[in-house]
Amino acid sequence: MQLIELLNRIPVLESHGDTHREVSALVFDSRKVSENSLYIAVKGTVADGHSFIASAIEKGATTIVCEDLPENLDQNLTYIQVKDSSKALGHLASNFYGNPSEKLKLIGVTGTNGKTSVSTLLFDVFKNLGHHSALLSTVEIRIGDKIIPATHTTPDVITINQILTKAVEEGCEFAFMEVSSHGISQNRIEGLHFKIAGFTNLTHDHLDYHKTFDEYLKTKKRFFDELNDEAIAITNVDDKNGNVMLQNTKAKKRSYALKTMADYHGKLLEVDFNGMLLNFNGKEFWTTLTGKFNVYNLLLVFGIASELGFEQDEILQAISTLKRVNGRFETFKSDGGIFFVVDYAHTPDALENVLDSINEIRTKNERLITVFGCGGDRDHSKRPEMGNIATKKSTLAIITSDNPRTEDPNAIIKEIEAGVEPQNFSKYTSIPDRREAIKMAIKFAEPKDIIVVAGKGHETYQEINGVKHHFDDKEVINELWKLMSK
């Protein structure tokens, strides 16, 4: 493709050299440069791509897009100066791949909790409705029935455009995408054309990256601020930040809620571990998903599908056949009568939602045992809060390791313990080894008791000192149960 075509919709400050030259590839990692590549020098959080311009040229880059022009310009090359390389990268990628996000209906879901669940449930609902779709989530990337392993919450913008191009080629009509605050902040969704943006909720998370809650809020809001007037924004107005997301958006505004008036209103009529009886906009239906947080997730799915023009009865029929999302309130019962719940809950709000949902269902004759921890090298301030929630809402809380990363697991546990209130001191114990912690929970449990193993959900590894060791909560539970029940 010619460079001049790639520069469409990109404000150029200065250009030097031939703008009609052919570009064979877009690259922002100088190590991946090939002959006739366009190299974008991006100022990242760890390294500045401008430092690698010379290396990129050596490897064959013939076009350089940058914020700061090099002192000595090679007359045989083309240099394009822009105000923000990171933003320019998004538009370059969209143009290079033929703007695939405009050739299908792209739906983005953001919020602290529920992004993965809603995106995955949408993909499954639309499959049930007979439509070929793509999914870009934390757990996996799917194009129809093809699965691609996911490595980041929001992939880089070149990868996103490659996936969307493949989806268009495969005949997909819709694409459902989990949009993280990191992805918004780092311009990984720049240049994408969203048909619908959905907001789940906003609670305490990622403050290791965003530093303040206000910055985190503004980052999420930016997703909605940048929508065009052809898009639809649908938010949870039971969350006090739901209306904030809508304040400056040009998009058509829609709302969903359980407690307040909204375009899409839901009621929880009955709930147990097997599922829920719900009422959405006056229509009753049954789902095998359970927990109040899943009522919100399904209501957003219902609202998005309705806005895309589907009949509400057929949407609810498709919802009623849904299975639970991998690692999200997954439940199973041992042959010894102990009930297990595996969930990804790794924020105070998510953990509280899971425990509240279980406490609403259980008769109180069963004990609730919670195994959980907090990730290392992440927000420290949520640790004591989670310690307080787990011990307050469980019969017994076992504090253990999550992904300690480069931190000392015992130091993380001490920070969690600091939030335990005196009256709950007798309700917890600490076991740094996650396998041993799960073993202790099984040993302590009696028939009908409920064991929640929280924090890792779908993950199949535990990261310790930069090394990912195989660890799957569900696998460990099954293995230990078989060993201990002999």
Query: Do residues 486 and 477 make contact, with C-beta atoms less than 8 angstroms apart?
Result: no
Burial class (CB in 10 A: 0-12, 13-18, 19+), 339: buried
The pLDDT tens digits of the residues spanning 267-309 come to 999 999 889 999 999 999 999 999 989 999 999 999 999 999 9
Render the burial of 49-70: b for 16+ CB within 10 Å, e for the rest. Answer: bbebbeebbebebbbbbbbebe
Which of 49-63, 187-201, 351-365, 420-434 is predicted with the least confidence, judged by mean pLDDT?
351-365
Q: What is the pLDDT of residue 204?
A: 60
Q: What is the pLDDT of residue 139?
A: 82
Structure tokens at 458: 């779908």
Single-letter residue type at 436: E
Q: What is the pLDDT of residue 34?
A: 95
Count how many Cα atoms sit within 13 Å of the Cα of residue 212 in the half-sphere of its side chain: 3
The pLDDT tens digits of the residues spanning 73-125 come to 999 999 999 999 999 999 999 999 999 999 999 999 999 889 999 999 999 99
Whole-number mean pLDDT of the chain?
94
Q: Quick one: what percent of the chain has pLDDT higher than 70?
A: 97
- Alpha helices (runs of H) in 321-401, residue ranges in sequence order: 348-361, 382-393
| Rounded Cα–Cα distance for residues 115 and 139 (Å) | 11
Q: What is the average pLDDT across 228-253?
A: 97
Q: What is the pLDDT of residue 160?
A: 95
Closest Cα to residue 196, out of 303, 90, 93?
303
The pLDDT tens digits of the residues spanning 416-451 come to 999 999 999 999 999 999 999 999 999 999 999 999
Q: What is the pLDDT of residue 151?
A: 65
Q: Quick one: what percent of the chain has pLDDT higher than 90?
A: 86
Helix 348-361 × helix 292-307 angle, to 10°: 110
Q: What is the average pLDDT across 140-165?
A: 87
Check whether 182 has a pLDDT greater than 90.
Answer: no
Check whether 209 has a pLDDT greater than 60.
Answer: no
| Rounded Cα–Cα distance for residues 102 and 432 (Å) | 49
Q: What is the pLDDT of residue 466?
A: 87
Q: What is the pLDDT of residue 176?
A: 98
Check whether 153 has a pLDDT greater than 80.
Answer: no
Query: Do residues 439 and 482 make contact, with C-beta atoms less than 8 angstroms apart?
Result: no
Q: What is the pLDDT of residue 210?
A: 44
pLDDT bin (cut points 50, 70, 90) of residue 187 is very high
Closest Cα to residue 187, out of 157, 213, 161, 221?
157
Check whether 484 has a pLDDT greater than 90.
Answer: no
Query: Do residues 258 and 277 make contact, with C-beta atoms less than 8 angstroms apart?
Result: no
Residue 475 Cα to chain centre, angstroms: 23
pLDDT bin (cut points 50, 70, 90) of residue 326 is confident
Element (H, E) at 463: strand 461-464
**Which distant-in-sequence residues (6+ apart) come within 8 Å of 456 by Cβ?**
327, 344, 346, 402, 403, 462, 471, 473
Place of tokens 């969903």: 256
Q: What is the pLDDT of residue 152?
A: 56
| Rounded Cα–Cα distance for residues 390 and 386 (Å) | 6
| Rounded Cα–Cα distance for residues 207 and 378 (Å) | 8
